[in-house]
């Protein structure tokens, strides 16, 4: 499994963080496959994103209490599209948070 941390300013609001994640993924052409929570992180939001017509799943988790967001790629869910797409998602996410801070 690979993990990728997102930079989240301490002043970021939960609603802004969550909408920035979803908007960045949609802008990259991804579809939401699942949205829920992880039992080991109460209060978390956990997404599964997929690229239509492709194999692989990008998982992203937000834990507001820890001011943390990260992406995971499970070994059995890897695909060539994920890393380049994730680079763009992280960039869009950071830009969105900068804009909301103004």
pLDDT value at residue 68: 93
Q: Domain extents for the chain?
A: 2-101
8 A C-beta contact, residue 12 and residue 67: yes
Rounded to whole angstroms, the Cα distance separating 6 from 17 reads 11
* Architecture of the CATH domain 2-101: 2-Layer Sandwich (3.30)
Distance, CA of 20 to CA of 26 (rounded, Å):
10
pLDDT band of 102, cuts 50, 70, 90: low
* Burial status of residue 84 (CB atoms within 10 A of its CB: 0-12, 13-18, 19 or more): exposed
Q: Region 2-12: what's the mean pLDDT?
A: 88
* pLDDT tens, residue by residue, 8-45: 988 888 788 999 999 999 999 999 999 999 999 999 99
72-87 pLDDT, tens digit per residue, is 998 888 999 999 999 9
Phi-psi region of 48 (alpha: psi -120 to 50; beta: other; left: phi over 0): beta
Task: Tell me the C-alpha distance between 55 and 23, whole Å.
Answer: 21
């Amino acid at each position: 499994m690979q993990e990728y941390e997102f930079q989240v300013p301490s002043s970021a609001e939960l609603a802004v963080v969550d909408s920035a994640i979803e908007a960045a993924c949609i802008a990259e052409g991804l579809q939401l496959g699942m949205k829920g929570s992880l039992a080991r992180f109460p209060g978390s939001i956990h997404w599964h994103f997929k690229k239509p017509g492709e194999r692989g799943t990008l998982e992203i988790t937000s834990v507001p209490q820890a001011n943390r967001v990260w992406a995971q790629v499970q070994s059995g869910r890897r695909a060539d599209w994920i890393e380049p797409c994730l680079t763009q998602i992280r960039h869009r996410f950071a830009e969105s948070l900068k804009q909301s801070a103004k």
